[in-house]
Amino acid sequence: MKETNFCKSCDNATVKMYEYAKEMGLETIWDRAQAMQPQCGFGEMGLCCTNCSMGPCRIVKITEDGPKKGICGATEDTIVSRNFARAVAAGAAAHSDHGRDIAQALYHAALEEGDYEVRDKDKLLKIAKEWNVKVENRSLKEIAREVALMALEEFGKPFGKLRFLGRAPEKRRVIWDELGISPRAIDREVVQVMHSTHMGCDADYRNIINQAAKAALSDGWGGSMIGTELSDVIFGTPVPKKTQANLGVLKENYVNIIVHGHEPTLSEAIVIASKDPELIELAQKQGAEGINLAGMCCTGNEITMRHGVPMAGNFFQQELAIATGAVDAMVVDVQCIMPSLSEIVKCYHTKLITTSLKAKVPGAIHMEFDEEKAVEIAKKIVREAVLNYKNRKQKIYIPEEKAQGYVGYSYEAILKILDKVTNSFAHPAGTVKPLVDAMKSGVLRGAAAIVGCNNHKVPHDSGHVTLAKELIKRDILVVTTGCGAHACIKAGLMSMDAVNYCGKGLATCCELLEIPPVLHMGSCVDISRILTLLSDVAKYMGMDISDLPVAAAAPEWMSEKAQSIGLYAVSSGIYVVLGVAPAITGSETVVNYLTSDIEKILGGRFEVESDPVKAAEKIVYHIEMKRKMLGI
Amino acid sequence: MTLFDIIFTGSKQALEAAKGVVQDAISKKGEEGKVAFPETAYSLPTFYAATGKKLGTLKDLKDALSIVESLIVEEQSLEKALNAGLATALSAEIIEACKYATQEKPYSEPCAGFISDAIIRSLGVPLVTGDIPGVAVVIGEAPSAEEAGKVIKGYQNKGLLVFLVGKIIDQAIEAKVKMGLELRVIPLGYDVTSVIHVVTVAIRAALIFGNVQPGNLGDLLKYTKERVPAFVNALGPLSEIVVSAGAGAIALGFPVITDQEVQEVPHYLIVQKDYEKMVATSLEARNIKIKITEIPIPVGFAAAFEGERVRKED
């Protein structure tokens, strides 16, 4: 690992900034990853257990005489599956707590005072109908209040199953019920995993993974879906719009504010505050031309989907953004915020502002966000950034890279776009029929979702970008969310010109529909949009999600959220290719279960393939196999 | 069978047929037998436009078969399916050329067969001005003469140029559709391969009016897609050859609307079983918007009737 350029990114701006940061003597994620080598094999294989104070225990596999059981007697299968299940539970918890905050925000929106409002009435009424909420002779606020309360109950209701499970195809629900993994209440499933993985509780790896699957499903069809659906209700359902991406969106003569994190409750309020005439005037008084807001990671995805706010970069670019010297404030809430940011801001004037009690960082300024006074607090935060402009030190280096692309492809937007190719005399409008016809005729071979993070174990962005290019070349439509979306837009794959990378079939579809071949469907909780779309396609075709010629990939995943996403995708019947091996390799049994046997039970399975070109081949093989089984 | 497999099958059948026909023609006229369509400067227009080569003898035709064969690559992708469709068009052109090479007068009333350059030039201006708002190619057989008449007159009344291929010709006669170039309804022939004579109209339009260089297939397909407002109505049972010919139409950018149960392709292959809606469906599919004021008179009124001759007995 003694390479001079450890940062292998396919993104020029990242490489430039990494080299610049090195010159400046700054430490970045790549340096820390390099310093960590070699990483602990026991942890890497999932064979280390610290669940009680008799431990830490480790299973030694490379020598014959090493311990083969933990002190309590737990085998490698038990330890590996428990560790995996806890990671899934943590991921589900993160998404679900996000969803809870959004439900809270809707509750505030339903009250008379407050800064939020119901912006998408149709979507609220659609959910109300889905949940059997009475709508006749009731005000929108009353309906919103009841929907919000019902959504909040989803987290801890004592009886029944999650309401959004009703969206899944019938066959899928039967599979879940028969296996006993239909999630009941979101928090309960997370708690149950924590309970069962406690010392001396569940030792059956299949049972442990089933429970993890249940928690994961409570994320995808629960926490994340609530987060997405209610965010749309409050902030509007995304529609296609043009935006820019990469570090080049920072502007030297403007007050640059980066919102980083996940929850749109904060970022939406910052969007409003950044347009406040008084604050813009204040910025001009400080000598700036105005206020330039940019987003990072998923909160960046949220505000670009709804407002076209430029996307500054993805997970691995957060430190580099500050190293430009042009960021006057980085405002963060929760999740995927590197604690190292507080170190790197010390070298600059940049203010790191934390806003959530759930995520404080030593060395950062904490300005507690409150949904009840959202815009007021957002203005305070923006003011802090504006007043910080004059403290800039004269060392600004903004790489010029910036790509154009189209974002905002919500499920609703996609349905509307599909109407462009329906014939008003021959077809119904507002259905997934055109998509189904394109797939059944073979014009489109299938669809794949590319999601997930960045990880130093994979060259930055290249897992996402290479895979996307390989798939669209073979007439496979790509949808993407999260940091995968950032990677794809930076690589130009969300521009209309990207049809040049496509096979004839996909190119034809893109030209007819006026869409790029890689569709930005939002943040990580917005993967629930993909579940909704797949469910409707499956239902239209009268089959299960597992029958569809589709696949998912997380080429550069790193977080526990990604593990929850992966498992709920598999549990929903989807073939999931991971670019990084999860910490399960210590148990051949668990590996075999998750990559093979589970398919017979749930219809989906994991595949580990670090080479994106080979991953594409495997996805193509899977999709063509599904087509054969469908006779199309 | 997948839609693409049907296309490949049809293309292979067309190629086999072309091989047989060329062999027969050679046995009658010899390899040096002359091959030419009447009154054209564009040789075999589809071949000429696609490859830049003029074919003059039966030996040339025989050699050209390998080009056709090379276009049929049985991989499941739209690109290969469209190429196979073009191969079918080329096979049809070879078969039709052999008819002209071996027979004194392969087509007789009411069928027109090959359309001369002069006629295409005369159609150019009304096509450019929008006086002819579209070109309908009706192929096959409607359930009855009544439906056939309804569909054809529907286009005729809107000033479209209509080409007929197959049994629909007899049905049109039965339904008392007035036909002829000046009435903008042109029966081409009864064999499915005679559909190539309307394809070459579109192709020669690209060469004559679009200044597309022979051999530049990309520009040719772009021109026909963007500038020739044609579409196909495929009526009655669809053989594999008709489906693969349909893929050829789609390659040129022309949507196909059929009354048969097939796997639809968004925008390009549309099922419409209601004959009352056939015309409207087709016009929308090709984005043909007609600026007309419908005058409530008991007879058909359109530019298509301008050249009509009223005979004594009428």
A215 with A124, same domain: the answer is: yes
A228 with A259, same domain: the answer is: no
Indicate whether A525 pLDDT > 80.
yes
Query: Which amino acid does the sequence have at A71?
Result: I
What average pLDDT does this structure show over B282-293?
86
Q: What is the pLDDT of residue B200?
A: 97
- Contact flag B76-A624 (C-beta cutoff 8 Å): yes
Q: Which of A235, A255, A270 is the last residue of a domain?
A: A235
What is the pLDDT confidence band of residue A2, given thresholds at 50, 70 and 90? very low
Token pair for B204: 């020669």
Indicate whether A619 pLDDT > 50.
yes
Task: Give counts: helices (H), strands (E), chain B.
Answer: 11, 6
- The CA-CA-CA angle for residues B203, B204, B208, to 5°, reads 130
- The CA-CA-CA angle for residues A331, A335, A336, to 5°, reads 90
Task: Determine if the peptide bond prior to B110 is cis (ω within 30°).
Answer: yes
- Contact flag A438-B78 (C-beta cutoff 8 Å): no
Q: Confirm whether residue A98 is marked as ligand binding.
A: no
Indicate whether B270 pLDDT > 80.
yes
CA distances A184 to A98, A177, A415, B156, Å, are: 18, 11, 30, 64
For chain A, give the number of residues.
632
Max CA-CA distance within chain B?
60
Q: What is the pLDDT of residue B301?
A: 65
Of B2, B79, B264, the CB nearest to A503: B79
Chain A positions touching chain B (beta carbons under 8 Å): 418, 421-427, 434, 437-438, 440-443, 445, 474-475, 503-505, 508-509, 512, 624, 627, 631-632
- Contact flag B266-A624 (C-beta cutoff 8 Å): no
Does the CA dihedral A190-A191-A196-A197 come out positive or negative? positive
- Contact flag A503-B76 (C-beta cutoff 8 Å): no
Residue-wise pLDDT tens digits, A168-185: 999 999 999 999 999 999
Using a CB-CB cut-off of 8 Å, the residues of chain A touching B4 are: 442
Of A425, A504, A631, the CB nearest to B82: A504
Q: Confirm whether residue A72 is marked as ligand binding.
A: yes
Using a CB-CB cut-off of 8 Å, the residues of chain A touching B76 are: 442, 445, 624, 627
A197 with A278, same domain: the answer is: no
- Contact flag A443-B265 (C-beta cutoff 8 Å): yes
pTM, full prediction: 0.95
Residues near A116 by Cβ (< 8 Å), separated by ≥ 6? A105, A106, A108, A109, A234, A265, A371, A374
Using a CB-CB cut-off of 8 Å, the residues of chain B touching A627 are: 2, 76
Provide the b/e sequence for A587-615 (b: ≥16 CB within 10 Å). bebbbebbbeebbebbbbbbbbbbebeeb
Give the DSSP per-residue string, B15-46: HHHHHHHHHHHHHHH-TT-B---TT-SSSSHH
**Residue of B3, B75, B78 best to disrupt the A interface, most CBs of A under 10 A:** B78
Residue-wise pLDDT tens digits, B9-60: 999 999 999 999 999 999 999 999 999 999 999 999 999 999 999 999 999 9
Please state, in angstroms and rounded to a whole number, the distance separating the CA atoms of residues B87 and B89: 5
Indicate whether A3 pLDDT > 80.
no
Nearest CA in chain B to A503: B79
Q: Is residue A37 part of a domain?
A: no
A309 with A183, same domain: the answer is: no
Q: What is the pLDDT of residue A440?
A: 97
- Contact flag B277-A424 (C-beta cutoff 8 Å): no
Indicate whether B299 pLDDT > 80.
no
Please state, in angstroms and rounded to a whole number, the distance separating the CA atoms of residues B62 and B246: 24
Of A440, A505, A512, the CB nearest to B267: A512
- Kind plus residue range of the DSSP H or E element containing B73: none
Q: Is residue A44 part of a domain?
A: no
Q: Is residue A10 part of a domain?
A: no
Token pair for B167: 């049994």
CA distance B255 to chain A (A): 11
Q: Confirm whether residue A298 is marked as ligand binding.
A: yes
A492 with A624, same domain: the answer is: yes
Nearest CA in chain B to A434: B266
Query: Which amino acid does the sequence have at B291?
Result: K
Residue-wise pLDDT tens digits, B75-121: 999 999 999 999 999 999 999 999 999 999 999 999 999 999 999 99
Q: Hunting for tokens 């934390």 — which residue is that?
A: A354
What average pLDDT does this structure show over B216-241?
96
Q: Is residue A101 part of a domain?
A: yes
Q: What is the pLDDT of residue A1?
A: 39
- Does B270 contact chain A (CB < 8 Å)? yes
Residue-wise pLDDT tens digits, A397-414: 999 999 999 999 999 999
Q: Confirm whether residue A509 is marked as ligand binding.
A: no
A298 with A194, same domain: the answer is: no
Using a CB-CB cut-off of 8 Å, the residues of chain B touching A431 are: none
ipTM: 0.92
Of B4, B77, B284, the CB nearest to A423: B284
A356 with A450, same domain: the answer is: no
Give the DSSP per-residue string, A407-422: E---HHHHHHHHGGGS
Using a CB-CB cut-off of 8 Å, the residues of chain A touching B3 are: 440-442
3-state SS of A43-75 is HHHCCEECCCCCCCEECCCCCCCCCCCCCCCCC
Using a CB-CB cut-off of 8 Å, the residues of chain B touching A418 are: 266
Q: What is the pLDDT of residue B221?
A: 96
CA distance A549 to chain B (A): 14
Query: Which residues form the domain of A266?
Result: 247-391
Q: What is the pLDDT of residue B295?
A: 66
A421 with A483, same domain: the answer is: yes
Q: Which of A358, A391, A424 is the last residue of a domain?
A: A391
Q: What is the pLDDT of residue A106?
A: 96
Closest listed residue to residue A147, CA positions, set B199, A138, A597? A138
A210 with A346, same domain: the answer is: no
**Residue A261 CB-density burial (10 A; 0-12 exposed, 13-18 middle, 19+ buried):** buried
Of B4, B265, B281, the CB nearest to A437: B265
Indicate whether B291 pLDDT > 70.
no
Using a CB-CB cut-off of 8 Å, the residues of chain A touching B263 are: 437, 440-441, 632
- Does B287 contact chain A (CB < 8 Å)? no
Nearest CA in chain B to A435: B266
Q: What is the pLDDT of residue A629?
A: 96
pLDDT above 90 coverage of chain B, percent: 88
Of B77, B269, B270, the CB nearest to A475: B77
Provide the b/e sequence for A129-151 (b: ≥16 CB within 10 Å). eeeebeeeeeebeebbbbbbebb
Please state, in angstroms and rounded to a whole number, the distance separating the CA atoms of residues A358 and A355: 9
CATH number for the domain that contains residue A554: 3.40.50.2030
Q: What is the pLDDT of residue B127?
A: 84
Indicate whether B292 pLDDT > 60.
no
CA–centroid distance for B265 within its chain:
20
- Beta carbons of B267 and B231 less than 8 angstroms apart: no
- Beta carbons of A91 and A562 less than 8 angstroms apart: yes
Q: Which of A235, A261, A280 is the last residue of a domain?
A: A235
Token pair for A362: 């030593």
Nearest CA in chain A to B257: A426
What average pLDDT does this structure show over A488-493?
98
Please state, in angstroms and rounded to a whole number, the distance separating the CA atoms of residues A548 and A550: 5
Of A423, A512, A632, the CB nearest to B2: A632
- Does B284 contact chain A (CB < 8 Å)? yes
- Beta carbons of A523 and A486 less than 8 angstroms apart: no
Query: Which amino acid does the sequence have at A532?
Result: T
Radius of gyration of chain B (CA): 19
Q: Is residue A22 part of a domain?
A: no
A194 with A267, same domain: the answer is: no
Q: Is residue A538 part of a domain?
A: yes
Using a CB-CB cut-off of 8 Å, the residues of chain A touching B264 are: 437, 441
Q: Is residue A396 part of a domain?
A: no
CATH number for the domain that contains residue A132: 1.20.1270.30
Nearest CA in chain A to B268: A421
**Residue of A417, A439, A443, A511 best to disrupt the B interface, most CBs of B under 10 A:** A443
Cα-Cα-Cα-Cα torsion A30, A35, A41, A43, nearest 10 degrees, comes to -70
Nearest CA in chain A to B270: A426
**Residue of B233, B267, B270 best to disrupt the A interface, most CBs of A under 10 A:** B267
Q: Hunting for tokens 């004559």 — which residue is that?
A: B208
Of A441, A503, A624, the CB nearest to B264: A441
What average pLDDT does this structure show over B272-292?
92
CB < 8 Å & 24+ apart, contacts of B209-212: B209/B124, B209/B127, B209/B128, B212/B49
Of B78, B267, B280, the CB nearest to A475: B78
A259 with A231, same domain: the answer is: no
Residue-wise pLDDT tens digits, A118-176: 999 999 999 999 999 999 999 999 999 999 999 999 999 999 999 999 999 999 999 99
Cα-Cα-Cα-Cα torsion A89, A91, A97, A102, nearest 10 degrees, comes to -140
Please state, in angstroms and rounded to a whole number, the distance separating the CA atoms of residues B197 and A363: 79
Pick the range with the lowest mean pLDDT from A208-222, A280-294, A371-385, B282-296.
Answer: B282-296
Q: Residue B140 forms beta bridges with which residues? A: B235
CA distance B281 to chain A (A): 5
Closest listed residue to residue A441, CA positions, set A411, A421, A462, A458? A421
CA distance B284 to chain A (A): 7
Q: Confirm whether residue A510 is marked as ligand binding.
A: no
A357 with A420, same domain: the answer is: no
Token pair for B91: 């096979």
Indicate whether A320 pLDDT > 90.
yes
Indicate whether A290 pLDDT > 70.
yes
Within 10 A of A529 (CB to CB), how many other CB atoms are there?
29
Helix (H, G, I), strand (E, B) or coil at A438: helix
- Does B285 contact chain A (CB < 8 Å)? yes
Q: What is the pLDDT of residue B303?
A: 67
What average pLDDT does this structure show over A563-577?
98
Task: Determine if the peptide bond prior to A56 is cis (ω within 30°).
Answer: yes
Residues near B101 by Cβ (< 8 Å), separated by ≥ 6? B25, B29, B33, B34, B35, B36, B58
Using a CB-CB cut-off of 8 Å, the residues of chain A touching B270 are: 423, 426-427
Into how many domains does chain A fold? 3
Q: Is residue A579 part of a domain?
A: yes
CA distance B252 to chain A (A): 13
